[in-house]
Amino acid sequence: MKKWYTVQTLSGKEMRAKESLEKRIPQEQMDDYVFEVLVPQEKVTEIKRGKKTTTNRKFFPGYIFVNVDLTDDSNKIREDVWYFIKDTNGIINFLGGDSPVSLSDKEIDEIRNQLTASEEAAVKPKVDFNAGDIVKIKDGAFENFEGTITSVDPDRGKLQIEVTIFGRSTPVEVEYWQVERSN
């Protein structure tokens, strides 16, 4: 009976572990036992050194999900399948160790819905600003002005900042990449 299990991988090696596992499945004739490998991730944009880059951010760093028939009819772990997965490059162990716990259908559906939602949404900017943070504008018409963030709009990638111009507090809207934390 196939079920979803969480498998711990080396940090940052989730995709490599997935590819190794998928490559070994036909080689070692495990098609009847291992059905799918899932690494939930989303595309995120960020600005580094003035350049806009898009990267993949994993929802669960250090873990992958495997749909596998791990137990036999008497509910004992199939050792051949168990060791096939554990001996794959980049994989450390099943979550739960020697007695892995499977995910419920509801849990895996939530993960899949999260994936679908992130695919449908535009590429999300990486946000590490919060309301109340003091920032310095490094680009645009208000370059070198300092202000306090009053609101964060992650969907549009914009920040609302209160800046003092000629002794008056003025709201300014800028994009994430146009500001940096003030020291």
Q: Three-state SS across 12-80?
A: CCHHHHHHHHHHHHHHCCCCCCEEEEECCEEEEEEEECCEEEEEEEECCCCEEEEEECCECCCCCECHH
CATH code, domain with 29: 3.30.70.940
Last residue of a domain, one of 125, 155, 171: 125
Same domain, yes or no: 66 and 96: yes
Domain that holds residue 141: 134-181
Same domain, yes or no: 120 and 147: no
Structural domains of the chain, count: 2
Same domain, yes or no: 35 and 101: yes
Q: Collect the ranges in the chain with pLDDT lower than 50.
A: none
Beta-carbon count within 10 A of 179 CB: 24
Same domain, yes or no: 160 and 81: no
Same domain, yes or no: 35 and 91: yes
Per DSSP, the three-state class of 99 is: coil
Amino acid at 48: K
pLDDT at position 114: 83
pLDDT at position 103: 92
Exposed, middle or buried, 1 (CB in 10 Å: 0-12/13-18/19+)?
exposed
pLDDT at position 85: 94
Same domain, yes or no: 164 and 99: no
Same domain, yes or no: 88 and 145: no
CATH code, domain with 166: 2.30.30.30
Same domain, yes or no: 22 and 108: yes
**What proportion of the chain, given as a percentage, has pLDDT over 90?**
51
Contact residues for 127 (Cβ-Cβ < 8 A; gap 6+): 152, 154, 176
Per DSSP, the three-state class of 94 is: strand
d(CA 175, CA 154): 10
Same domain, yes or no: 79 and 159: no
pLDDT at position 5: 95
Same domain, yes or no: 138 and 118: no
pLDDT in tens, 22-75: 999 999 999 999 999 999 988 877 766 667 778 888 889 999 999 999 988 888
d(CA 130, CA 161): 11
Same domain, yes or no: 116 and 164: no
What global pTM score does this model have? 0.65
pLDDT at position 123: 55
pLDDT at position 88: 93
